[in-house]
Each structure stands twice: as C-alpha cells, then as structure tokens.
Amino acid sequence: MTRIRRYAIAVGSVALAAGVLFALMRDRPATVAAPSPLAAPSATPAPVTPAPVAPTPARSATPAAAATPRRSAPPAVRAHQWPDDRTPFGDAVKQVQAWADAGDTRAAIELTSQLSTCTPYGLRATEASDESDRQYIMNDLTDDQLTKAQRETRRANTMQRINENAKRRADCAALPRDLVAHWLDPLDRAAQSGDTYAMREYARLAMAEYDGVAAVVADVDEAITRRDKARAYLDEAVRLGDTSALVALAGAYAESATINLYAVDAARAHAYAYAALQAAELTAMERDRMTWLLNRSARALDASALAQAEAEGRRLYARCCSGR
C-alpha cells in the first residue's frame, strides 16, 4: 500500500470521526423538530406516529406450509450442507461446486458465501479484522479491569480468529483464480432458478463490495450491472411473496441503508416496513428493525404522506404476501 494511501486512510479516519461527531451534533435537533411543510402554520403540529399495523389474524390460521412464503422455489434436488471442518477448504469447495452445478441451490448459495471471503474485498475485510483484534490484545494488556485469566482467555479467542483468518487466506490463495473471479455466479444462477433467498443474498453480497466511492469508480460498469440486477431480484422476491425481501427493500430506502441500492426515500422505506410488519413470519430481529425503521421514517413524513405510505404498505403486502 502506498504511503499516500495509508496516509489518506489515517487522516481520513480522523477527519471522518470528527465529521461524524459534528454531523451527529448537527443532525440531532433537526430530526426532532423538523416541521411538517403541510402542517397548519399556527397549530401545534400533532405528533406524527405511524398507525398501528393491523394484526394479521389470518396468518395464524394459515397452514404452516403456506405461511412461509420466503422459499418460493422448493429445491428440486437434494440440498447439501457445507462439509464439516475436517474437510480441507479446497476439497469442500470442489464438492459443493459439484452439488451446485447439479442444481442444488443451497449449495450454490453456500459456495458463493464461502468464496466471498476470498475476493479482494473479503481479504481486506479479514485483514482489517486482524488489525482490530491485535489492537484488542494490546488494549487488554493495560486494562486493569481484567483478571489475568480473563486476559488470557480473550487473547486465546482473539488469536484463534486471527489464525483462522490466516488459514482461510492461505486456502483462498490456493483456489483457482477463475473460480474466485466468478464467485457470484453460483448465487446468481440460484437466484435465476427462482430461489428468493438467493435473490436477497445476491443483493446483499453483490453490493457489499461497493462500500466506498473509489470502489464504484474503479468498477463502475460492473457496479451498474449488479445494482440493476439486485433491484430486479428484490422486486421479484417480493412478487414471489418473500416477506424478508420487504425487509431488505425497507432497509434499502432507509436513511441508514442496509444495502446501497436506492436514494433515501422515507415514504418508500415506511411503506416497505409497514408491509413487512404485517407478515407473521418475520424473525424477532427483522421485526425489531422494521419497528424502529417505521418510527424513524415517520418522522420525515407529514400526516398526509404518512397515510399514503401506509396505504402503499398495505397494498404492497396484499399484492405480494397476503393469503399465501
């Protein structure tokens, strides 16, 4: 890494930290007191809160098979698990690749997930993790709150992660370059076969690499291709009744995006969160996230926009998932 890049990262981090602090200090009052542009000028605006999401009694009465619309395409072939840890990584990749090539979408999804740790982005991520871990170890040395045993346990755990990362990097280096270069292809094929989990995973993994402007600039044609495909997959997953895709889209429109796909749009975020919360099968984490997002997005909407967003949420849910 060049000195200028290292320097850039270092000073950028400091400047960013200061900027974030400053921005947070500036943002806080604005989000609390932003007046509604449509509110009556003299009246104290009533607090805008999202209407409670209608309960979904029909859900509980729905047969279990129909109540899980996440998997719209049941696997036509046997789904295999990733081989256990005793199988060398390279051998496991070969085995899972063979299953994926035979049409096992679960294997294809897992293969891409594992190969994602071998891409330049994935390797950088593990190196950054190692750096943080080493810093933890150093910090623990001077932390008087820790006992000697605690310090040793934390060190052992951290070193295990560092060693596993090192082993994975070595394993990755031994893989055929072409395989790593086309790491997304198995997942893409699984998505094309109609697996909605693969569609969501494509959106997440394909866009994760574009975590900064420089990454997009360097690879802009591919970024556009992946963006358009990710958008289409999420829409298709919703169309197929995948309620977790509603969650993903709510996050994509949210102020703090979980996937960089769309510009901030509080109304869209609210509508998708509202739709998602009508689904009975959300995980607790998804439900918490959507509830938080619903309240957050409501702050940016006046009463009229809020009502429209919620109507849109009901329409989205009815069209994709109700009665499935």
Partner 1 sequence: MRWLVLALAVIAGAALLYRHVATSSGTADAPTRAGKAGASASAGSPRTSTAPPSTKAADDLDDRPFVDVRAELERRAERGDAHAAARLGRAFAQCNGYVPVDDAQLESWVVEATARGVTLNVDGHPLGPDALLARLKANQAQRARDCANAGGIDEQDPRPLAFHWTERAAALGDADAQALYGNLAFATYNARSAIVDAEQLRERKRLARDYLERALAGGDALALQQMYLHYAHGTLYPEDAEAAYRYLYAYSLTPRSAEMAPAALTGLLDEAAAALDDGARERARRAARDLAACCMSPGSP
Give the residues lining the site for partner 1 (CB under 8 A).
1-15, 17-19, 131, 207, 210-218, 220-221, 223-224, 227, 257, 260-264
> How many CB atoms within 10 Å of residue 256?
8
Whichever of 9 and 98 has its CB closer to partner 1, that residue is 9
CA distance 132 to 159: 11
CA distance 268 to 289: 16
Rounded to the nearest 10°, the torsion over CA 249, 97, 103, 83 is -90
Whichever of 9 and 311 has its CB closer to partner 1, that residue is 9
CA distance 48 to 296: 11
Judge whether 131 and 163 are in contact, CB under 8 Å: no
Judge whether 87 and 311 are in contact, CB under 8 Å: no
Whichever of 252 and 294 has its CB closer to partner 1, that residue is 252
Whichever of 10 and 38 has its CB closer to partner 1, that residue is 10
Q: In angstroms, what is the minimal distance from the CB of 21 to partner 1?
A: 8
SS (H, E, C) 128-172: HHHHHHHHHHHHHHCCCCCCHHHHHHHHHHHHHHHHHHHHHHHHH
Whichever of 259 and 320 has its CB closer to partner 1, that residue is 259
Q: In angstroms, what is the minimal distance from the CB of 17 to partner 1?
A: 7
Q: In angstroms, what is the minimal distance from the CB of 93 to partner 1?
A: 26
Closest alpha carbon to 111 in 162, 21, 183, 31: 183
Q: In angstroms, what is the minimal distance from the CB of 279 to partner 1?
A: 26
CA neighbours closer than 13 Å in the CB half-sphere of residue 293: 33
Q: In angstroms, what is the minimal distance from the CB of 186 to partner 1?
A: 23
Whichever of 255 and 281 has its CB closer to partner 1, that residue is 255
Q: In angstroms, what is the minimal distance from the CB of 126 to partner 1?
A: 14
